[in-house]
Amino acid sequence: MRRFRDDGLENSLTDFGLHAGLFDVAKQIEELPQAFKLGVTSFKVFMTYARIKWMMDDYWLMALLDLIGQEGGMVAVHAENGLATDYLQDKYNCTALSALQAFTRTRPDVLEAEAINRAIAMAKVADCALYIPHVSAAKALDPIRRARDQGQIVYAEGCPQYLTLTEETLHRRGPQAKIGPPLRTPEDNEGLWRGIQDGTMDTVASDHAPKAKEADDDFFEAPYGSPQAETLLTVTHDAGVNGGRIGLPRLVQLLSETPAKIFGYYPKKGTVAPGSDADVVIFDPAERWTIQHANQHSQANYTLYEGRECLGRPVWVMQRGRVLIEDGQLVGTQGEACYLPTQSAVNGLS
């Protein structure tokens, strides 16, 4: 973990903290108290992907929540029922359905909601703060709302792909749109926007996972993930603010202020105020442009928003008084980043 921190200081353009992914908790759990001493207080685990040996069973999830709760940290869970998904994959692979048709049937929204509910129940027993990233289904918001009503600390994150894209994108782009959880329906899009409007959703993040994929790759052999970081602000602003779903202050909360509070960076980060870092984004709300792979900077060979016309674009970025992006072009240099220890908001947001 110290190596990742030091490599980041040498190579990163932007300030960063570490949010650790755990893939073998049975072997890693004894090391976790040391992570807190290095400023790592939040940890992500997977309740799915058993076949690639990423899935954590309930025994070790309960053990992890118990330990992290005692240490005063937070656990994030990729919430889908992994073993049920594997069974459904075996079932539908034996039918005449295409890989694309089978994919969405193996990961129905109710199994995402079930996993979220299960994680919430165990987090309540362990008295551990819980973070639910990349919520994809409107139905998955129900257990989050119930937990919130009972005073439990549960944070929920949306992503622009789940707010704007649907199964139609999956069928059009094939493996390039293979992400987990999967893209769902227009009704789910609108249900998640309602979750943002009523405060159930706390943040919007990218779930950036750029993988080199072609539209005609073997679907089940293709990796999960898509490039999302560079389009995060533009797409969320265009669909949310320009779409009349949220106002600009709510957008700033979702993308900046609330994440800074959840991970313990506020008010150093997440606001412009006396004593805060001079982190500023200049966003031109009147610039009309079209997202294309050709104008992106990801190493992935595509964007799922190819051809989307947007109104509004970030043009200038400053971090701690240093200009990183000017007129849309990178001018910052590596090695000027700061490592930021986290302090998870385990008692809620103030």
Average pLDDT for residues 199-215, to the nearest whole number?
96
123-151 pLDDT per residue, tens = 999 999 999 999 999 999 999 999 999 99
Quickly name the fold that domain 2-330 has: TIM Barrel (3.20.20)
A 10 A CB-CB count for 209 gives 15
The number of angstroms, rounded, from the C-alpha of 1 to the middle of its chain's C-alpha atoms is: 21
Task: Kindly report the average pLDDT of the chain as a whole number.
Answer: 94
Q: Would you give the DSSP letter of residue 330?
A: E
The Cα 196–Cα 204 span in angstroms is: 9
pLDDT score, position 220: 85
pLDDT score, position 15: 94
Instruction: Please determine, for residue 3, whether its predicted confidence score (pLDDT) is greater than 70.
Output: no
Instruction: Please determine, for residue 27, whether its predicted confidence score (pLDDT) is greater than 70.
Output: yes
228-277 pLDDT per residue, tens = 999 999 999 999 999 999 999 999 999 999 999 999 999 999 999 999 99
Is pLDDT larger for residue 4 or for residue 335? 335
pLDDT score, position 2: 63
Q: Is the dihedral of CA 103, 142, 342, 15 positive or negative?
A: positive
Is pLDDT larger for residue 2 or for residue 114? 114
3-state DSSP helix/strand/coil % of the chain, to nearest 5: 40, 15, 45
76-128 pLDDT per residue, tens = 999 999 999 999 999 998 888 888 888 989 999 999 999 999 999 999 999 99
The Cα 48–Cα 84 span in angstroms is: 9
Instruction: Please determine, for residue 1, whether its predicted confidence score (pLDDT) is greater than 70.
Output: no
Per-residue DSSP letters for 5-43?
Answer: HHHHHHH-SS-B---EE-S-HHHHGGGHHHHHHTT--EE
pLDDT score, position 101: 87
Is pLDDT larger for residue 332 or for residue 350? 332
The Cα 159–Cα 29 span in angstroms is: 29
Structural domain boundaries in the chain = 2-330
Between the CA of residue 165 and those of 137, 185, 306, 308, what are the distances in Å?
12, 8, 12, 11
A 10 A CB-CB count for 169 gives 18
Instruction: Please determine, for residue 283, whether its predicted confidence score (pLDDT) is greater than 60.
Output: yes
174-199 pLDDT per residue, tens = 999 999 999 999 999 999 999 999 99
Contact criterion met (CB below 8 Å) for 209 and 267:
no
pLDDT score, position 6: 66
Task: Provide CB contacts within 8 A for 48, sequence distance 6+.
Answer: 54, 55, 78, 80, 81, 82, 85, 115, 180
The Cα 164–Cα 303 span in angstroms is: 14
A 10 A CB-CB count for 127 gives 13
Instruction: Please determine, for residue 7, whether its predicted confidence score (pLDDT) is greater than 70.
Output: no
The Cα 350–Cα 82 span in angstroms is: 35
3-state secondary structure of 227: coil
The share of the chain scoring above pLDDT 70, in percent, equals: 97
- Please count the residues of the chain: 350
pLDDT score, position 17: 93
Average pLDDT for residues 62-77, to the nearest whole number?
98
